[in-house]
């Protein structure tokens, strides 16, 4: 199937009047870099929290697409700054975004402007991340049907000049279904579609009992998680609402669960098992990219 | 003057019942590491967004305290993860926290538990960061009297099990005044005390006209900044409210301004000038530490 035409569009009338645009947190700019030449052929953008993981993903996709050159020698395009890492592998861009909504939000503003300045078209965006599971076995991959806030509503509250406005966090249903279909073609990739709750805190905000601060009981924690599960929440992470609000039409969120929050709060799974879990969203997205590029049928 | 007795206290009755505490985002734990031996002598904790900057600070303080060994060989204690970087130099701990409230909040939960497990006492915490100035010349250092939210109120909204609660973000007045006094003993360190506004977004949330999204006019932007200035706001960053809410009594926020937001939104200052600006909070905190340790009178 042919993907629908997707354009990356900035919604800011002031941008056209600027003589230069410095993408400060990427250490890139319209005067210092030829962005159309560097990025014009990008069709897939994959983002995730950890810099090491997004470098590993770039090396993995380099091998999967059988591109020439040594995948070990992939260069960080943002080496002028340590805020984010960015790797380009053929038509795939792999970027780290740190933890939490504000951190990914800065990256997305500059990414969307980058794709705009580079005249990119038909770009699909993926967030591949880690999460806590809600009633799922650890290692399950969750494709988000929508991102919801702490009250289980599909909305993102953005402050603009001191006033709170609300944006929708629905995601691309067709893209989610396509990914779920592809997951059945792969081994060891237990995958579900569900709602993803996005919080602004890892401890109190996600009902953990093991933070530096905790004022609630284990029973109150479980009641909150049960309510979340009833509302369709299958995993909890910290970036999906703003990712959905800013990217929407051509975007998917694919996170593996590292633990089942009904069973505990601490991540006690051995390191090598966690490493394998974290590769699962990468394998699924790689499969999707190869399908779209016609490398597999 | 003798500092008041300060203890790092966790407020979580569940922690004592845990057999092991894994500080996941530090890649440290109570069973795998001897935390009292590793960290028991810590008296000063300095945190900042950028990993490179906090490594540079660790090397700088190593030289300033004239400690033995090669400051180039300082090891990242959190090398098992790329979420944060951590360096220990004598009684000083230097940690990166990424960008935004959620990112620093995860770090602070695990830091406070770390200091608790290590039985640390009389610890002073500093956030040394960068910020946008409001009506100040670029390069000015702002010591925060208090951290305020987007409505200029000294409060931090925390979601706990889906309910919003409010915490105070007042900071240690004595510590701020002591720092301001020390700044007068140093050259090229223009310093003021003022309110620091903490936002959850770098672009729309801070009234920038140069993001991927912008729905307001230059006049509306300036009106918001003028109101902030009238409310005592002298700089804008993205971490101070939760830092103040979680650390408070023994904590200070010291940020240099990289630009004057009344003059523009983009950071166009040359790289070497920015590097010098970013050293200013480090120089001030180093001076404070040397005073407290009796290395200078």
Q: Which of B162, B211, B220 sits opposite A12 (nearest CB)?
A: B211
If phi over 0 gives left and psi between -120 and 50 gives alpha, with beta otherwise, what is residue A254? Answer: beta
Query: Which chain B residue lies closest to A15 (C-alpha atoms)?
Result: B210
Q: How far apart are CA B57 and CA B128, in angstroms?
A: 10
Chain A residues near residue B20 by CB distance under 8 angstroms: 266
pLDDT tens-digit series, residues B57-85? 999 999 999 999 998 889 999 999 999 99
pLDDT tens-digit series, residues B82-110? 999 999 999 999 999 999 999 999 999 99
pLDDT at B248: 79
Q: Do B106 and A83 touch (CB under 8 A)?
A: no
Residue A171 has pLDDT above 90, yes or no: yes
A5 pLDDT band, cuts 50/70/90, is low
Q: Do A106 and B99 touch (CB under 8 A)?
A: yes
Q: How far apart are CA B157 and CA B225, in angstroms?
A: 22
Best A56, A105, A156 member to test B by mutation, with max B CBs in 10 Å, is: A105
Q: Do B22 and A98 touch (CB under 8 A)?
A: no
Same domain, A152 and A98: no
* Count of the separate structural domains present in chain B: 2
Using the 3D structure, point to which of B95, B122, B149 is the last residue of a domain.
Answer: B122
Same domain, B107 and B212: no
Residue A208, annotated as binding a ligand:
yes
Is residue A27 situated within a structural domain? Answer: yes
Nearest to A275 by CA among A131, A113, A139, A180: A139
Burial class of residue A297, CB neighbours in 10 A (0-12, 13-18, 19+):
exposed
pLDDT at A71: 86
Best A114, A162, A166 member to test B by mutation, with max B CBs in 10 Å, is: A162
Full residue range of the structural domain in which residue B5 is found = 1-122
Residue A206, annotated as binding a ligand:
yes
pLDDT at B1: 44
Residue A9, annotated as binding a ligand:
no
Q: How far apart are CA A118 and CA B51, in angstroms?
A: 29
8 A C-beta contact, residue B149 and residue B157: yes
Same domain, B239 and B266: yes
Q: Which of B25, B102, B212 sits opposite A102 (nearest CB)?
A: B102
Same domain, B94 and B137: no
Q: What is the mean pLDDT of residues A166-175?
A: 96
pLDDT at B25: 97
pLDDT tens-digit series, residues A58-77? 999 999 999 999 988 899 99
Exposure string for A213-244, b = 16+ CB within 10 A, e = fewer: bbebeeeebeebbeebbeebbbbbbbbbbbbb
Is residue B292 situated within a structural domain? Answer: no
Is residue B93 situated within a structural domain? Answer: yes
Q: What is the mean pLDDT of residues B5-19?
A: 84
Q: What is the mean pLDDT of residues A38-64?
A: 97
Q: Which of B158, B199, B227 sits opposite A201 (nearest CB)?
A: B158
Same domain, B89 and B150: no
8 A C-beta contact, residue B176 and residue B193: yes
Is residue A137 situated within a structural domain? Answer: yes
Indicate the pairing of strand A191-198 with strand B22-23. unpaired
Using the 3D structure, point to which of A65, A97, A122 is the last residue of a domain.
Answer: A122
* Helix then strand then coil, % of chain B, to nearest 5: 35, 25, 40
pLDDT tens-digit series, residues A261-279? 999 999 999 999 999 999 9
Q: How far apart are CA B287 and CA B191, in angstroms?
A: 14
Q: How far apart are CA B212 and CA A177, in angstroms?
A: 29
Chain B residues near residue A100 by CB distance under 8 angstroms: 98, 100-103, 105-106
Q: Do A212 and B21 touch (CB under 8 A)?
A: no
Same domain, B55 and B162: no
Same domain, A134 and A264: yes
User: For B142, how many CA atoms within 13 A lie in the half-sphere containing its CB?
Assistant: 31
Same domain, B92 and B110: yes
Burial class of residue A17, CB neighbours in 10 A (0-12, 13-18, 19+):
exposed
User: For B180, how many CA atoms within 13 A lie in the half-sphere containing its CB?
Assistant: 13
B249 pLDDT band, cuts 50/70/90, is confident
8 A C-beta contact, residue A97 and residue A85: no
Q: Which of B83, B102, B266 sits opposite A22 (nearest CB)?
A: B266
- Tokens 């250490």 found at: A27
Residue B181 has pLDDT above 70, yes or no: yes
Same domain, B95 and B178: no
Is residue B155 situated within a structural domain? Answer: yes
Q: Do B10 and A213 touch (CB under 8 A)?
A: yes
Q: How far apart are CA A127 and CA A281, in angstroms?
A: 9
8 A C-beta contact, residue A150 and residue B159: yes
pLDDT at A54: 98
Q: Do A205 and B21 touch (CB under 8 A)?
A: no
Helix axes B51-64, B271-292, angle to 10 degrees: 50
Other CB atoms within a 10 A radius of the CB of residue B166 amount to 12
8 A C-beta contact, residue A261 and residue A153: no
Residue B3 has pLDDT above 70, yes or no: no
Helices (H), chain A: 35-39, 51-64, 101-117, 173-183, 218-230, 240-247, 271-292
Using the 3D structure, point to which of A101, A122, A143 is the last residue of a domain.
Answer: A122
Largest distance between two CA atoms of chain A:
58
Is residue A110 situated within a structural domain? Answer: yes
8 A C-beta contact, residue A218 and residue A91: no
Q: Do B161 and A266 touch (CB under 8 A)?
A: no
Residue B5 has pLDDT above 70, yes or no: no
Same domain, A135 and A261: yes
Query: Which chain B residue lies closest to A54 (C-alpha atoms)?
Result: B82
Chain A residues near residue B214 by CB distance under 8 angstroms: 11-15
Chain A residues near residue B158 by CB distance under 8 angstroms: 201, 204-205
pLDDT tens-digit series, residues B135-178? 999 999 999 999 999 999 999 999 999 999 999 999 999 999 99
pLDDT tens-digit series, residues B201-237? 999 999 999 999 999 999 999 999 999 999 999 999 9
Q: What is the mean pLDDT of residues A189-202?
A: 98
Helices (H), chain B: 35-39, 51-64, 101-117, 173-183, 218-230, 240-247, 271-292
Same domain, B150 and B99: no
pLDDT tens-digit series, residues B18-50? 999 999 999 999 999 999 999 999 999 999 999
Q: Which residues contact B275 (CB under 8 A, 6 or more apart)?
A: none
Is residue B256 situated within a structural domain? Answer: yes
Q: Could you tell me the two tokens for A209? A: 């009992």
CA distances to A15, A80, A265, B243, B265 from B211, rounded to whole Å, are 8, 21, 37, 26, 10
- Tokens 């933890």 found at: A99
Same domain, A173 and A251: yes
What is the least distance, in Å, from the CA of A210 to any CA of chain B?
6
Q: What is the mean pLDDT of residues A128-146?
A: 98
- Say which residue, A65 or A2, is predicted with more confidence: A65
8 A C-beta contact, residue B118 and residue B141: no
8 A C-beta contact, residue B85 and residue A52: no
pLDDT above 70 covers a percentage of chain B that reads 97
Is residue B286 situated within a structural domain? Answer: no
Highest mean pLDDT among A69-78, A242-251, B6-15, B25-34: B25-34
Helices (H), A147-269: 173-183, 218-230, 240-247
pLDDT at B7: 61
> Looking at residue B252, which CATH number applies to its domain?
3.40.50.1580
Residues in chain A: 297
Q: Do B216 and A160 touch (CB under 8 A)?
A: yes
Whole-complex ipTM: 0.96
Q: Do B161 and A221 touch (CB under 8 A)?
A: yes
Q: Do A211 and B12 touch (CB under 8 A)?
A: yes
- Say which residue, A251 or B9, is predicted with more confidence: A251
């Amino acid at each position: 199937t042919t993907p629908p035409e997707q354009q990356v569009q900035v919604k800011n009338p002031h941008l056209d009047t600027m003589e230069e645009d410095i993408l400060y947190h990427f250490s890139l700019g319209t005067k210092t870099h030829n962005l159309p030449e560097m990025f014009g052929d990008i069709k897939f953008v994959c983002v995730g929290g950890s810099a090491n993981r997004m470098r590993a993903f770039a090396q993995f996709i380099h091998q999967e697409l059988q591109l020439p050159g040594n995948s070990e020698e992939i260069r960080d395009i943002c080496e002028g700054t340590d805020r984010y890492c960015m790797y380009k592998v053929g038509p795939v861009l792999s970027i780290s975004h740190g933890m939490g909504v504000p951190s990914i939000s800065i990256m997305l503003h500059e990414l969307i402007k980058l794709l705009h300045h580079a005249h990119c078209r038909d770009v699909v965006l993926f967030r591949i991340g880690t999460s806590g599971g809600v009633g799922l076995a650890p290692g399950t991959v969750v494709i988000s049907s929508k991102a919801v806030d702490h009250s289980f509503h599909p909305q993102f509250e953005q402050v603009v000049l001191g006033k709170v406005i609300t944006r929708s966090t629905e995601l691309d249903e067709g893209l989610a279904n396509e990914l779920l279909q592809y997951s059945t073609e792969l081994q060891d990739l237990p995958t579900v579609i569900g709602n993803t709750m996005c919080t602004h805190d890892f401890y109190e905000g996600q009902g953990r009992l093991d933070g530096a601060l905790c004022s609630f009981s284990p029973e109150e924690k479980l009641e909150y998680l049960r309510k979340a599960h009833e509302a369709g929440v299958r995993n909890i992470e910290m970036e999906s609402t703003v990712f959905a609000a800013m990217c929407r039409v051509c975007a998917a969120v694919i996170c593996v669960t590292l633990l089942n929050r009904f069973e505990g709060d601490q991540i006690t799974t051995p390191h090598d098992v966690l490493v394998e879990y974290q590769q699962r969203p990468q394998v699924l997205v790689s499969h999707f990219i190869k399908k779209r590029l016609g490398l597999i049928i």
